[in-house]
A and B are shown apart, each in its own frame.
Chain A
Amino acid sequence: MHVLPYLVAAYLFLTGCYGLATSRNLIHAVGCLAVCQSATYVLLLAVGYRDGGTAPVFSDIRPGSRPVVDPVVQALTLTDIVVGATVTALLLALVLQIAKRHGTVDPDELRELRG
């Protein structure tokens, strides 16, 4: 099966979405969002993999002696991870304030904005 890693990414994204939509706790929801994002890591890294490839770092291997995996997707994934970490931090800060102002972190009980 040569597409299994891609299917894992799709599965992760959909699972995260399911968790987000049915979440009863906003901290859990932010976690689910991180699951959705991990789908992007898996997909990017899977796309850049090369059979038998090693890390694209040439401090201890001679250039050209071995196949290396795609360095671009690794850089993109690093960017993605930083984005994910910061967004998570920011959203958790908001959840913290929601807990203080609304006295709950259950999205079913937030009734301020509607209609």
Chain B
Amino acid sequence: MRHLLPLPVALPLLGAALLVATGRRLPRIAVEIAGFVVSGGTAALTLVLLLDSAPTMTEWVGAWPPAGRESVGILVVGDGPALGMATLASLLTLAALAYSWRYFDAPPHGHTGAFTALMLVFQGAMCGFALAGDLFNAFVFFELMSVVAYALTGYRIDEAKAVQGALTFGIVNSLGAYALLLGIALLYARTGELAMARIGHGLDATGPGGPDALVLASFVLVLTGLLVKAAAVPFHFWLPDAHAVAPTPVCMLLSGVMVELGAYGVWRVYGTVFAGPGGIPAADLTRALVALGALTAVTGAVMCWYQRHIKRLLAYSTVAHTGLFLVGLGVLTPEADGGVALYLLGHAGVKAALFACAGALLDRFGSVDEHSLHGRGRPLRATGVMCAVGALGLAGLPPFGTALGKAVTEEAVGGPLTVVYVAASAITAGAVLRVTARVFLGLGPRPRDAEYETSGSDEEPETTGLLSRIPDTMTTVPAVLLAAALAVGVVPGFGTLVARSVARAGPGGAHAAAHWTAHGVLLGVASAVLAVALAGLAVIRPDWTSAPGWAAPLRRLQSGHVGDYVAWLLVGTTVLGALALPGVLGS
């Protein structure tokens, strides 16, 4: 069984290569069926491997079993979280392919399979990153994931916004990746190893009395790369620019799982490389992640509220939620890790469904602008209902998976940070509800335009021409995704299963469970009520909730200028270094 572990990477890549080789001769329908079969087959394989992931499967690719404790091969790790992320990525790819089924804009002439092949490579890359047990190998798949994502983001070359967003995405993420590689080189210089666990041992063995400047620098550089991907403040600026312009099926993957893989990478790398006595003390990681995570959640939520471009609004909500994930991972308890895993699963379903609804608007009206679509969404009843349900899921209304995950995480994090969880989820959900009320019900007056903002009108639809009716695939896919997000919270025992498998993979192999508690349900309901109240207020009294003066500077920071984003990235590394410094000085 363990020999099959690298196959979730190899199969989609093989499928993509064969599609490109034969694509020009095949009709479109055959290409899409082939993509569907390969993606689905891989998803089934990851699922089978996931069910077999206790105890943890490991595989030395190239059959280089370690002689003693040392090997020259590459380690692939198949534990619960790794295979869970691979499964999530595969299932979402499958959903995205189903969503783009037949209606997505005609592929370039003579390259019928190009879009499907890129999606399959993306799937393989995400699986590869999730399963990596070797730091350099993780970098390789990190880059593969990025390269495909840049190409897919700029897919609509006729759109001025799309190519700009894709370039910003490309430059900032590549710079982050090079920082990650510098960090890997420093770790290699110190320990002479590349497998994550071996690097961790090496740090513990060579660090004479705790971490020094080299360990700190490598920690900061590696985390910079991963946090750029996870879009933590102040590394987050690329995300709204990229996610707002990418084609909808791609957005589903970017927001649903790729950004979360950055957070997963932080969890994996800290736990395996830096958690030992020669690494970065737990208190420092907690300080760094909780501070940056809370800041990310607040910034994302505030910016989300003031958007009128619907996909950009959803992108900021992803920023806010990854902030919440990072806070949860930062407290370093098995309960919080399990809660974050559940939250992440629920969020992936809800967010992908919401993007799918936004895509339906785009293809029907050629606009994703809250103001210009005012009331025009009335005929799309199913999409409107799903938008509202998705918003409640985003708020964490029980019994959604998001609610269970959020409740477990809140309980583990505890204290005043609970406020951040409730507020961020309520504000982002309120923004989505506000859009739903205005677009699909036409409630309230048409809001006034602000001065410094991105409008979502006059966009090219992603289909060949505007749709006269929404095809069934475009309503079925979000419905299935929402049902999946619901199932995460409803299916009895699923929560505990996830929590246990995450805890088993974490340090100490502790036991953990995830149950609904009265406290958690109450907070979830409170978030949802707050979201509805905010949306209602915004719709009835737009002036009360329009951008106040203090929010303007925050909005001006999102300037669309890649130079600004690079400068912020450097500030981010400095802040990370400063946050983790006490532990190094103290040792």
Q: Do chains A and B touch in the complex (CB under 8 A)?
A: yes
Binding site for B on A (CB under 8 A): 9, 13, 17, 20-23, 26, 29-30, 33, 36-37, 39-40, 43-44, 47, 72-73, 76, 79-80, 83, 86-87, 90-91, 93-95, 97-98, 101-102, 107-108, 110-115
With A43-B185, A90-B150 as given contacts, are A112 and B175 in contact (CB-CB < 8 Å)? no
Query: Given A33-B174, A39-B182, list of 7 further CB < 8 A pairs?
Result: A20-B563, A23-B563, A30-B171, A83-B147, A113-B164, A113-B165, A114-B454
Is B166 an interface position by the 8 A CB rule?
yes
Q: Is the CB of B167 within 8 A of A95?
A: yes
Q: Is the CB of B563 within 8 A of A21?
A: yes
Q: Would you give the 0/1 interface string for B137-162, flagging 1 where the beta carbon is closer than 8 Å to chain A? A: 00010010011001100100111110
User: A108: which B residues are within 8 A, CB to CB?
Assistant: 561
With A29-B562, A110-B560, A113-B560 as given contacts, are A13 and B178 in contact (CB-CB < 8 Å)? yes
Q: Is the CB of B559 within 8 A of A114?
A: yes
- The 8 A-B residue pairs with the shortest CB-CB distance in the complex, in nearest-first order: A101-B160, A115-B453, A113-B560, A47-B189, A97-B163, A114-B560, A94-B167, A21-B566
User: A94: which B residues are within 8 A, CB to CB?
Assistant: 150, 154, 163, 166-167, 170
User: What are 8 pairs between A and B in contact, CB < 8 Å?
Assistant: A73-B185, A80-B181, A83-B140, A83-B143, A90-B170, A94-B167, A101-B163, A107-B561
Binding site for A on B (CB under 8 A): 136, 140, 143, 146-147, 150-151, 154, 157-161, 163-168, 170-171, 174-175, 178, 181-182, 185-186, 188-189, 194, 240-241, 244-245, 306, 450, 452-454, 555-556, 558-564, 566-567, 569-570
Q: Is the CB of B167 within 8 A of A79?
A: no
In the complex the two chains form, what is the Cα distance from A93 to B151 in whole Å?
A: 10
User: B161: which A residues are within 8 A, CB to CB?
Assistant: 112-113
In the complex the two chains form, what is the Cα distance from A29 to B170 in whole Å?
A: 11
Closest B residue to A110 by CB, please name it: B164
In the complex the two chains form, what is the Cα distance from A36 to B171 in whole Å?
A: 11
With A21-B563, A110-B560, A115-B450 as given contacts, are A91 and B170 in contact (CB-CB < 8 Å)? yes
Q: Is the CB of A40 within 8 A of B178?
A: yes
In the complex the two chains form, what is the Cα distance from A9 to B450 in whole Å?
A: 45
Closest A residue to B221 by CB, please name it: A13
Shortest CB–CB separation between residue B254 and chain A, in angstroms? Answer: 16
Q: Among B171, B178, B452, which residue has its beta carbon within 8 angstroms of that of A91?
A: B171
Main DSSP-derived SS at the B contact region: helix
In the complex the two chains form, what is the Cα distance from A102 to B559 in whole Å?
A: 16
Q: Is the CB of B454 within 8 A of A17?
A: no
Closest A residue to B142 by CB, please name it: A83
Shortest CB–CB separation between residue B153 and chain A, in angstroms? Answer: 9
In the complex the two chains form, what is the Cα distance from A80 to B306 in whole Å?
A: 40
Shortest CB–CB separation between residue B132 and chain A, in angstroms? Answer: 14
Q: Is the CB of B454 within 8 A of A107?
A: no
Q: Is the CB of B175 within 8 A of A20?
A: yes
In the complex the two chains form, what is the Cα distance from A101 to B146 in whole Å?
A: 23
In the complex the two chains form, what is the Cα distance from A113 to B559 in whole Å?
A: 7
In the complex the two chains form, what is the Cα distance from A30 to B171 in whole Å?
A: 7
User: B170: which A residues are within 8 A, CB to CB?
Assistant: 87, 90-91, 94
Shortest CB–CB separation between residue A16 and chain B, in angstroms? Answer: 8
Q: Is the CB of A40 within 8 A of B182?
A: yes
Q: Is the CB of A13 within 8 A of B150?
A: no
Q: Among A26, A90, A112, A114, which residue has its beta carbon within 8 angstroms of that of B558?
A: A114
With A90-B151, A110-B561 as given contacts, are A29 and B452 in contact (CB-CB < 8 Å)? no
Q: Is the CB of B454 within 8 A of A47?
A: no
In the complex the two chains form, what is the Cα distance from A79 to B146 in whole Å?
A: 15
Q: Is the CB of A112 within 8 A of B171?
A: no
User: A37: which B residues are within 8 A, CB to CB?
Assistant: 174, 178
Shortest CB–CB separation between residue B359 and chain A, in angstroms? Answer: 19
Closest B residue to A76 by CB, please name it: B136
Q: Is the CB of B167 within 8 A of A112?
A: no
User: B241: which A residues are within 8 A, CB to CB?
Assistant: 113
User: A33: which B residues are within 8 A, CB to CB?
Assistant: 171, 174-175, 178
In the complex the two chains form, what is the Cα distance from A94 to B153 in whole Å?
A: 10
In the complex the two chains form, what is the Cα distance from A29 to B561 in whole Å?
A: 12
Closest A residue to B165 by CB, please name it: A113
User: B560: which A residues are within 8 A, CB to CB?
Assistant: 110-114
In the complex the two chains form, what is the Cα distance from A94 to B168 in whole Å?
A: 10
Shortest CB–CB separation between residue B12 and chain A, in angstroms? Answer: 19
In the complex the two chains form, what is the Cα distance from A95 to B140 in whole Å?
A: 24
In the complex the two chains form, what is the Cα distance from A115 to B309 in whole Å?
A: 10
Shortest CB–CB separation between residue A2 and chain B, in angstroms? Answer: 13
User: B558: which A residues are within 8 A, CB to CB?
Assistant: 114-115
User: B562: which A residues are within 8 A, CB to CB?
Assistant: 20, 23, 26, 29, 107
Q: Among A40, A83, A98, A115, which residue has its beta carbon within 8 angstroms of that of B164?
A: A98
Q: Is the CB of B182 within 8 A of A91?
A: no
User: A72: which B residues are within 8 A, CB to CB?
Assistant: 188, 194
In the complex the two chains form, what is the Cα distance from A112 to B240 in whole Å?
A: 12
Q: Is the CB of B160 within 8 A of A79?
A: no
Q: Is the CB of A20 within 8 A of B181?
A: no
Q: Is the CB of B175 within 8 A of A17?
A: yes
Shortest CB–CB separation between residue A98 and chain B, in angstroms? Answer: 5
In the complex the two chains form, what is the Cα distance from A30 to B161 in whole Å?
A: 19
Shortest CB–CB separation between residue B251 and chain A, in angstroms? Answer: 15
With A72-B194, A76-B136 as given contacts, are A107 and B563 in contact (CB-CB < 8 Å)? yes
Q: Is the CB of A91 within 8 A of B165?
A: no
With A17-B570, A102-B160 as given contacts, are A36 and B189 in contact (CB-CB < 8 Å)? no
Shortest CB–CB separation between residue B332 and chain A, in angstroms? Answer: 30
Q: Is the CB of B454 within 8 A of A115?
A: yes
User: B306: which A residues are within 8 A, CB to CB?
Assistant: 115
Shortest CB–CB separation between residue A99 and chain B, in angstroms? Answer: 9
In the complex the two chains form, what is the Cα distance from A92 to B86 in whole Å?
A: 31
